[in-house]
């Protein structure tokens, strides 16, 4: 058994590597540019929503109450459309600082989770590929598989989810590489 504390270096280095590579993927590579569509008549839609002064948060419309899914009035309302979910962001200038800090912290948490599972499964001196498999699989779960829930339940575009799953595979391979390389001997 290997302690999490003894794996601080691969945890931090993999978090830094994932942070840097994810920045390159999203700022330089073009494949995420189609993840979101522009609303038709965007200004009109924004003008129509503005008087409601919606608080930041997640909204679903129409939102069913208990038993509504079979209620003819709800079924008609849903069928008539539009139906969807909507995330309202805070007003004011867009600030990446908070999101980037939270993303880095998340990368550290994925690394800690990979350290915990790998450290419980493998002893010090384990072969690179064994460590690579445990740390990589754990990191993949953290970076990619949880994204599928939003596509299954909230109809987020499958292509966007698959592209993010591919990103998660890259992040998992980076994490696995650092853990395999820096595993205690």
What is the rounded average pLDDT for all residues in the chain? 95
Maximum distance among all alpha carbons in the chain? 66
Q: Which of 77, 109, 91, 104 is nearest to 49 (CA)?
A: 91
Q: Output the pTM of the full model.
A: 0.90
pLDDT tens-digit map of 34-51: 999 999 999 999 999 999
Query: Cα(5)–Cα(116) distance, rounded to whole angstroms?
Result: 10
- The tokens for 33 are 């540019």
How confident is the model at residue 67, as a pLDDT?
Answer: 82
- The tokens for 87 are 């995330």
φ, ψ for residue 58, nearest 5 deg: -105, 135
- The tokens for 7 are 């794996």
Q: Which of 24, 31, 19 is nearest to 162 (CA)?
A: 31
What is the extent of the structural domain holding 43? Answer: 5-182
The residues, ordered by sequence, that sit 6+ positions from 45 with a Cβ below 8 Å of its Cβ are 39
pLDDT tens-digit map of 111-129: 999 999 999 999 999 999 9
Instruction: pLDDT band for 84, please (50, 70, 90 cuts).
Output: very high
> Could you give the number of structural domains in the chain?
1
């Amino acid at each position: 058994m290997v302690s999490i504390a003894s794996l601080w270096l691969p945890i931090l280095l993999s978090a830094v590597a994932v942070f840097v590579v994810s920045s390159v993927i999203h700022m330089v590579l073009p494949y995420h540019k189609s993840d979101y569509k522009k609303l038709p008549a965007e200004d009109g839609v924004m003008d129509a929503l503005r008087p409601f002064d919606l608080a930041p948060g997640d909204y679903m419309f129409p939102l069913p109450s208990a038993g509504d899914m079979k209620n003819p009035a709800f079924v008609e309302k849903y069928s008539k459309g539009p139906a969807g979910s909507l995330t309202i962001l805070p007003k004011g200038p867009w600030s990446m600082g908070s999101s980037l800090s939270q993303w880095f912290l998340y990368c550290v948490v994925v690394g800690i989770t990979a350290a915990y599972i790998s450290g419980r499964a493998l002893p010090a001196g384990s072969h690179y590929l064994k460590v690579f498999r445990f740390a990589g699989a754990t990191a993949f779960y953290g970076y990619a598989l949880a994204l599928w829930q939003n596509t299954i339940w909230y109809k987020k575009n499958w292509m966007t989810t698959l592209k993010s799953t591919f990103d998660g595979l890259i992040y998992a391979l980076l994490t696995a590489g650092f853990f395999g390389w820096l595993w205690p001997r």
